[in-house]
Amino acid sequence: MNVQIEIQKSISKSLSELFGHEVAFENLALQPTRREFEGTYTFVTFPFLKVSKKSPEATGQLIGEYLQSNSDQVSDFNVVKGFLNLTISDGTWLDTLKDVCKTVNFGFAPSNGKSVMVEYSSPNTNKPLHLGHLRNNFLGYSVAQIYEANGYDVTKVQIINDRGIHICKSMVAWQKFGGGETPGSSGLKGDKLAGKYYVKFDQEYKKEIAALIETGMPKEEAEKQAPLFLEAQEMLRKWEAHDKEVYDLWTTMNGWVYEGFDQTYEKMGVTFDKLYYESKTYLLGKEAVKIGLEKGVFYQKEDGSVWIDLTEDGLDHKLLLRSDGTAVYMTQDIGTAIERFKEFPGQEKLVYTVGNEQDYHFKVLFLILKKLGYQWADGCYHLSYGMVDLPSGKMKSREGTVVDADDLMDEMVQTAGDHTKELGKIDGFSESQARELYDTLGLGALKYFLLKVDPKKRMLFDPQESIEFQGNTGPFIQYTHARISAILRRAEDLKVDFQSESCLDNVPLETVEKDLIYLISEYPERIKSAAVEYSPSVIAQYCFDLAKEYNRFYAELSIFNESDPDKVCLRVKLSQQVARTIRSGMALLGIDVPEKM
RNA sequence: GGUCUCAUAGUUCAACGGAUAGAAUAGAAGUUUCCUAAACUUUAGAUCCAGGUUCGAUUCCUGGUGAGACCA
C-alpha cells in the first residue's frame, strides 16, 4: 500500500462527488507539508477554485471533511488559505512500517522484462583517466544500478577511442624517444606510460615548430610541416593500411593502456558487460549513409561529400561523409547505434553518458537516426553532464592542470586513513580491515561528492572540501549506517525481540518516527522518479535526508532510553529499516557502507 | 557571428508554478554519566537586472548583463 497514492485517489473521488469534477489521481499533486505546519501531506486547492466556485478556505474545508470521513488514512486536517494540510493516522504509519518490514528486497523492483543499455567512460587510449572521467563513470554506473533496481535488464557498455591521429602521436613519440621502455621496465602503469609519450610528443612538436618559425616559416605552415607531425600522419596512413609493424606497435601499446585502465576501473568499482572499440566500428555507418542517400534523407554535394539538411529542425547542415569517402564521428556513431540495436534488439533505452560539449552532436545524431526511420531512436538519451572545474579554474591537459583519477583516488583513501587513525577509530582492526575501511571511506567520499550535484550542472571540485567528512558527504551517511548497525548489535545482546509483530502495536508514535517512516516509505517512489530523470543526485539527497533525520532521532533516543521497553522495541525496528534503506540507496550509487567504523 | 547551457546565503549545493526560498559548510553561542562528539541544539545570512504571463514566478516567456560550451 502506498499512502500517497491512496490519498490521491480519495481526493480524486472527493472532487468528483463534491464538485462533479473528474481528475485522474496521478495528476493531483501532493507535497510534503512544511515543517511549520501541522500535517504530512499538503494539497493545494487554488487550481480547483474554478470548479468548486468557493473561496480557497471553504474549498479546503469541504475536501478535508470529505477525506476525514471517507479516507482510512486521513485522521485530521487543517486549512491555511489554499493549502489543505492532511494529517495521517498513527495506524497508517504502523501499517506502512509493517509493510516495509515485510518487503524483502525493499527499494528494488522485480524484473519487468525490459532492457536498457547504458554507455559510459569511453576514454581515449592515449592518456590516463582524469577527474572528468570519474564523474562520467560514477554517473553512468549509478544510472545503470538505478535501472537495475527498477527491474530492467541492463547492459553496460563503453566505446573505446583506440584509433586516430592522437594515438599515433603517442606511438611516434614512444618509438623515437622511448628507448624500448615498457610498463614492466619503468614501473609505470600502462596508461600513464602512453600518456607520458603523448605529452612528450607535444613538447618535441612545439620545439620543431619553434625551430621552423625561426627559419621564417609562417606558424600555420610550420604546424603542418613539422617532421613529427608528418610522421604521425604517415603512421595513421600505415595503420589504416594495416601495416604489420605499425599494427603490432599499436596492439602492444593499447594492451598496456587497457591493463592500466582495468586497474583504475577496479579501484572505482565500475564494470562493463561489453566493450566496443572504435578501430572496429569506425567503418560502420557508411552503409547507413548510402541507404539514407537512396531514401533522400541525405544529399550529395558535387565534390562527393554527403550531408544532411537539418535547417527545418532549427539546426544546420551536417557533414556525414567526406568527399574522399572517409567517415566522420557522426558516421561511425550512426553505425554503432544501429549495430547495438541489431546485437541487442528490443532495448527500451540507450543512454549515452557523455559530457555536455557534445550536446549538439547527440541532438543531430538522434535526429538523423529518427529520419532514417529507426523507431528506437526515440529511446536514445544523452545523459549530459557538466564539466568539473577546479578552484584554480578549468582543467587543461596541455597546461598540466589535470587531476589524475588514480592520484585522486589514492589521495582520498590516504586522507581517510590519516583522519581515521587520528581519531583512534580503528582499535582492534586488522591491517586488511583497516585498509578496506579507508578504501570504503575515501572512495565513498569521492563518489558521493561527484554524484550529489545535478548532472547537467557544471560543478566545482575542491580537493580540500571533498575530503571533508562532515555535512552533506558520503562519510556522514556511512557513519550513520555504522551507528545503526551498532544499535542493532546492542539490541541483539539485550535480546530485544524486534522481530515480533506485537512490539509495533499500541505504541504512541513520536513526530520524529513518523518523519522517518514517511521518508523510508517514500523511498521506492524516489528511485522510480530518479530512473526517469536519470538523477543519482535525487538518491544522494535522499540518503542524506535519511541520515540527518536519523541522527536527530538518535539524539532523542539517548534521552529516552530508560522508559518502557516497548518503545525501545519500536525504535530498534525503525533502526533496522533505516539501515536497510541507507544501504540500498548507497548501493544504487555504487557506494559501499561499512558495518563498523 | 550563429546555437545551446548555467546564474540562489561568504562558499558548495537544493527547491513537479505554491505557504515565511531549504540544506551543508564557514561565522557566533551552547550540549559529553549515554548504543561512537566523524554527533546534536540555538543564532545570523541569498533568488544577476528590466519587463511580461496569473490567484501565485527562483521556476514559464521576451530583452539585457555575466560565465561556459559547441559550430565555422
- ipTM of the assembly? 0.93
Instruction: Give me chain A's average pLDDT, please.
Output: 89
Which set of grid coordinates corresponds to residue A274?
561489453
Minimum CA–C1' distance nucleotide for A470: B38
Which of the nucleotides in strand B have any atom less than 7 Å away from a protein CB atom?
3-7, 11-16, 18-20, 23-26, 34-36, 38-41, 55-56, 68-72
Distance A550 CA to B42 C1' (A): 20
Distance A395 CA to B7 C1' (A): 21
- Residue-wise pLDDT for A212-271, tens only, equals 999 999 888 898 899 999 999 999 999 999 999 999 999 999 999 999 999 999 999 999
C-alpha distances (whole Å) from A82 to each of A23, A43, A61, A268 are 18, 8, 10, 49
CB A7 within 8 A of CB A73: yes
| pLDDT tops 70 at residue A166 | yes
Q: Which residues lie below 8 Å from residue A510, measured CB to CB, with a gap of 6+?
A: A556
Q: How far apart are CA A360 and CA A570, in angstroms?
A: 54
Distance A552 CA to B40 C1' (A): 7
- Residue-wise pLDDT for A363-413, tens only, equals 999 999 999 999 999 999 999 999 998 887 666 665 566 889 999 999 999
A45-49, A123-127, A499-503, A540-544 — which is least confidently predicted?
A499-503
Minimum CA–C1' distance nucleotide for A46: B55
Minimum CA–C1' distance nucleotide for A552: B40
DSSP letter, residue A45: -
CA-closest candidate to residue A156, choices A290, A350, A13, A325? A350
Supply φ then ψ for residue A404, to 5 degrees.
-70, 140
Residues 361-420 of A with CB under 7 A from strand B: 361, 386-387, 394, 416, 419-420
CB A430 within 8 A of CB A437: no
CB atoms within 10 A of CB A427: 5
Contact, A29 CB vs strand B, < 7 Å: yes
Share of chain A above pLDDT 90, in %: 59
Q: Which residues lie below 8 Å from residue A74, measured CB to CB, with a gap of 6+?
A: A7, A10, A64, A67, A68, A86, A87, A88, A89
